[in-house]
Structures are given as C-alpha cells and as structure tokens.
Copies of this chain bind each other. A is one copy, B any other.
Amino acid sequence: MSTPTEPRRRTGRPRRRGQPVGDPTAEILAAAGRLFGELGIEATTMSRLAAEVGLGQSSLYYYFRSREEVVAALVAEANVVPLALIDRISQTGASTAAKLHRFVQGDVEALCALPFDINEIHRIAGREQERFARYWEERAKLERRLASLLKDGMAAGQLRPVDARLTTLTILANDEGTQNWYRLKPRRAREAAIAVADLTVAGLLAPGHSLEDVRDESFRSSIETVTPRSRSGNKEETARP
C-alpha cells in the first residue's frame, strides 16, 4: 500500500507455511508494530515476528540485518507525527499560547497512540546513536521548532520569560512521561492530554492572561485536528545479495 506502483517482481523459494501477500518488508514492519505494542519491544522475539508473517526465523534476516534495525525502522516514525503537528499548527493564525496548548495536547495524544513505549525507544536509541541517527535528527528539529514557538510567545508578551531551551526539554519530557501511563488507556488519553496542556500553558502564561481564554481559542481553532493512523513503510536499503 505504500507504493501504488508495482515495480518489483518476486520469485524465489516458496514458503513452508503461509503465502506472501504483499511487500514482505512492509508486512514485517506492520506485524512488528502490532507485537511491540502487545508484548513490548524487548519481549518481542524474531521467531514470534517471523511466525506472524509466515516466515522462518532466519528468513527475517534477508530483509533486516538485525533485530534492532526493525526497531529503528519503526521508531523513525515516532517523531514525524509531532513534527507534522507543530508545522501545521505554526501555520495557523492562532495566538502562541493557543498554538502551544494545541501542540501539547496533540503531542500527548499522538504519543499515547504509538504502539510502543517512547521511553523504551529513548533508552535503545540512546545506546546506539549511529543506528538511530535519523531519529535524533528529527528529535532535534522538533526541539528547535518548539523552542522557537516559545520565543515567539515571550516576544509577544503572552508567555512569561523563561529559558526557552530548558522549557522545551521540560515540555517534551512531560509529554513523554505522560505517555508512560496512558498509552494503554486510549479512553483517558485525551483527558490526560488536556490536563498536561492546561498545566503547561498555565505554567507559562504571563500575568494578565487567562488559561480559559487560551483553552477556548485552542479548542475553537482545532476544528481540523487529525490523527493519521497510516503506517507507511519506509525503504531502508537492507537486503544483501
């Protein structure tokens, strides 16, 4: 479904169990996303993942060099939703505080919708900066956008003066910490997301500004707030001849 064109042909030894249905790489990643959410990343074995797509354990290594490469391929998506979110919000004409409120709420909700634990990602990705280079780049980009948003708000006098970078990291850490507790409770995720957004914005508003006004503006301006569920495959040059 990722590539509407069908450029590549496939031949090769048939599978013992289960027939190939589509692009094996995409199927593996989809199954991995499912299993990571159900069992946790560390607890998901290559055997289990292979069985899920109808392959033998060792056959996975034809598509991915290692188990961690599967993780990395999935993890790379973790930042794209927040990045797209802050981009979309930045282009609106809302006040900075309302933008911040919408971002925090959307970020928490997006994190809670992830099939895996974002904190687990950070530990794994921190140990192997090389393999997760793309993740860290996008993470840095996200930090810059958010810091820039905070500076705008301070310049406009709507936010009280704080250290933009430190506050950025704090906000993102708060969002991630919340995901820890509400990832498995989609019902309460929105409620928690709003609570975090309220706390964050109220904590940053300059005197004389009302949280209620910001909330109203945030909710009113988010007529169109989508949470894309698509999980498109990404092409990571993997196979070896």
A residues within 8 Å of B by Cβ? 40, 42-43, 117, 119-120, 122-123, 127, 160, 162-163, 166-167, 169-171, 173-178, 180-181, 191-192, 195-196, 198-204
User: Does the CB pair A195–B40 fall under 8 Å?
Assistant: no
> A202's contact among B43, B176, B177, B203, by CB below 8 Å, is which?
B203
- Whether the pair B180, A119 counts as a contact (CB closer than 8 A) is yes
A162–B195 CA distance with the chains assembled, in angstroms: 9
User: What is the chain B residue whose CB lies nearest that of A181?
Assistant: B173
Give the CA-CA distance A136 to B123 in the complex, in Å. 23
Tell me which of A167, A176, A203 has the highest count of chain B C-beta atoms within 10 A of its own C-beta: A203
Question: How many protomers of this protein does the assembly include?
Answer: 2
Residues of B within 8 A of A170 (CB): 174, 178, 192, 195-196, 199
A127 engages B202 (CB within 8 Å): no
10 residue pairs A–B, Cβ–Cβ below 8 Å: A119-B123, A122-B180, A166-B191, A167-B199, A176-B177, A177-B177, A177-B180, A199-B203, A202-B202, A203-B204
Q: Which of these, B173, B180, B199, B203, contacts A178 with CB under 8 Å?
A: B173
B169 near A174: Cβ-Cβ < 8 Å? no
A131 → chain B closest CB, angstroms: 15
- Within the complex, which residue of B167, B169, B174 is in contact with A173, where a contact is CB–CB below 8 Å? B174
Cβ B195 vs Cβ A204 within 8 A: no
